[in-house]
Amino acid sequence: MMTRREIRQLTEDQRKRFFAAVQALHVRSGTGQSQYDQFTADHYDYRASSHGVAAFLPWNREHLRRFEAALQKIDPTIVLPYWDWSRDSQAPERSAILSSSYFGGNGTGSSRCVTNGAFADWQATIPNNHCLQRKFNGGSTIGSWYSPRMIENLLNTNRQSYDQFRRALEGTPQASVHVHIGGDMSQMYSPNDPLHWVHRTFVDLIWTEWQQRNTGLADTYNGGGASTHDVLQPFGVTVASTLSTRILGYTYPRWGGSSQAA
């Protein structure tokens, strides 16, 4: 059973291996598109059926697991890490995650290309050829995100149904990270930016924590006529198959807000 950990809790070697596997997945063949690009294309092409609807969380969970499996074919030691951005919520631009030792920072120049960090000078192909772009919403700063206390409140006050919780989480908490980082992250082709994966893995952790705190609702799924028998495309699996992380082969540490600090 794999345990996904906060990325700052990885050793330097583990972090470098993760970045190297992502880079390897990004290498393009003669067709001009990489395996990595296909993950972005899936997110973009199926955006209407996976965002703003009940399927958001299970679709994201399946997408993450398939991305993780692709990385493990390159390096079997890889386990997808998450970014607990609530720890950085009051000054996100100062986070180590946005430093040259990790994912790099804000885009530069008129094109807003990312020029430092593990993914400096990356080129994306979805929806067209362009550099990896970021444009912080505050210019050189980023507006505040949900703090650990706010996430704790979200977990404790949205306990009536899956639909209630999904709406609360998908809205401001997770969306503001995308929008405030800007550039590729603010678009439906957000997986162009490797930050997408560690952000959305934290979103998956929050859902997992909600399931563990609300065991009577853990296997429930509702909203807009949704059913656990619904098939998630393009994966061809049912929602029911995504409801247990243990069945999918991984777990998270229990989330305790600031206690998750490395």
Q: How confident is the model at residue 259 (pLDDT cuts 50, 70, 90)?
A: very low
Q: What is the mean predicted confidence (pLDDT) over 84-105?
A: 97
Q: Is the pLDDT of residue 125 over 70?
A: yes
Q: Which residues pair with 133 in a beta bridge?
A: 113
Provide the token pair at 206. 């929050």
Q: Reply yes or no on whether the pLDDT at 58 is more than 60.
A: yes
- Interval 134-153: pLDDT, tens: 999 989 999 999 999 999 99
pLDDT mean over 32-54: 95
Q: Tokens for 155? A: 């977990």
When pLDDT is averaged across residues 224-249 and rounded to a whole number, the result is 97
The predicted pLDDT at position 30 comes to 72
- 195-219 pLDDT per residue, tens: 999 999 999 999 999 999 999 999 9
Predicted pLDDT of residue 111: 92
For tokens 């650990």, the residue is 148
The confidence score (pLDDT) of residue 105 equals: 97
Helices (H), 52-161: 56-74, 148-157
Q: Round the average pLDDT of the chain to a whole number and report it.
A: 95
What the block records as the tokens of 208 is: 């997992």
pLDDT, residue 128, reads: 94
Number of H helices, E strands in the chain: 8, 6
User: What pLDDT, on the 0 to 100 scale, is given for residue 257?
Assistant: 67
For residue 260, pLDDT over 70 is answered with: no
**Tell me, what's the pLDDT at 28?**
85
Closest CA to 165 of 121, 197, 209, 119: 209
Question: Which one is predicted more confidently, 33 or 83?
Answer: 83
Structural domains in the chain, sorted by start: 2-252 (1.10.1280.10)
Q: What is the mean pLDDT of residues 152-165?
A: 94
Q: Which two tokens stand for residue 110?
A: 């008129």
Give the rounded percent of residues in the chain with a pLDDT score beyond 90: 93
